[in-house]
Amino acid sequence: MIGICLDRVSKKYGSQTVLHEVSLQVDRGEIYGLLGANGSGKSTLLRIAAGGLRATSGNISTAGSTGYVAQKFSLYDDLSVEENLAFWVRCHGFWGVRSRAHVEEVMARLDLVQFRKQRAGTLSHGWKQRLALAAALGHRPSILLLDEATSGIDPEARRQLWLILQECAQSGMAILLATHHMDEVERFQRIGYVREGKLTGVSPAEARALVGYGGGVACGEK
Ligand code: ADP
């Protein structure tokens, strides 16, 4: 069953075309990985898929609501973990008892109950990323979009995040994720390589060859 489908999506900034007729489908239960150098167009593609940025041409269809985890932590440092989650759940139209139930559910699922009253700004980077993921999952989306959400966190926190993502996929979510970590390639059901705004489907071996994988090293780190 289709989760999200992009059909010949293009994006121009002035005279610069940053996405060229990108077509892509992610099924429910599938994890699709986006690879590519910095500036190739991955974030633009994810922002359009999330509905935050308008494509210049092409169509996007989704089988439900989307959750989006941006590259940069984008929650409120001064609000507690619980307050941040309540805010995002309410932004998606859930109030009162339902809002509280969603917040409790996602805090339990992502092991955030221990930090309930802690201000988001005081969390470690790994826990901030987990909070950002919780905020994206709080309204129970069918599609999850992640822009380098696993970058810059320690290996154990990354492993934990991946366990959550795999659970999400098993529960029927469609996941589209941009990464620089070549060791994550094996976790994807399908891989797309973005070069100068054009997307090509590749195998794990092709992906490694394209980015000159030297073994265990994240490619293209900023
Ligand atoms: P990636 O995520 O692969 O690093 P991006 O999608 O961020 O790539 O960027 C793709 C291209 O689009 C880059 O050349 C970047 O400079 C350009 N770009 C991104 N956002 C804007 C913007 N708001 N205005 C103009 N150009 C932009």
Find out whether the beta carbon of 18 lies less than 6 Å from any atom of ligand 1.
yes
For residue 148, the SS3 value is coil
Find out whether the beta carbon of 139 lies less than 6 Å from any atom of ligand 1.
no
Question: What band does 217 get if pLDDT is binned at 50, 70 and 90?
Answer: very low
Closest C-alpha residue for ligand 1 atom 25: 13
Find out whether the beta carbon of 192 lies less than 6 Å from any atom of ligand 1.
no
Nearest alpha carbon to residue 185 among 13, 4, 31: 31
CB burial of 49-66 (b: ≥16 within 10 Å; e: otherwise) equals bbeeeebeebebebbeeb
- What ligand 1 atom has the least distance to the C-alpha of 14? 25
Nearest alpha carbon to residue 58 among 91, 9, 12, 19: 9
Nearest alpha carbon to residue 31 among 134, 126, 172: 172
CA 93: distance to chain centroid? 21
Closest C-alpha residue for ligand 1 atom 1: 39
Quote the percentage of the chain above a pLDDT of 90: 74
- For residue range 52-96, list pLDDT tens digits in order: 999 999 999 999 999 999 988 889 999 999 999 999 999 988 888
- What ligand 1 atom has the least distance to the C-alpha of 44? 6
At 213 the pLDDT is 57
The whole-chain average pLDDT of the chain stands at 91
User: What are the E-state strand segments in the chain?
Assistant: 2-13, 16-27, 31-35, 57-62, 66-69, 143-147, 174-178, 190-195, 198-202
For β-strands 16-27 and 2-13, DSSP reports them as: antiparallel
Cα 19 to averaged position of ligand 1 atoms, centre (Å): 9
Alpha-carbon distance values, 181 to 36, 56, 115, 123, 189 (Å): 11, 30, 28, 23, 15
The CB density around residue 21, as the number of other CB atoms within 10 Å, is 15
- For residue range 30-45, list pLDDT tens digits in order: 999 999 999 999 999 9
Give 120 or 212, the one with higher predicted confidence: 120
Find out whether the beta carbon of 52 lies less than 6 Å from any atom of ligand 1.
no
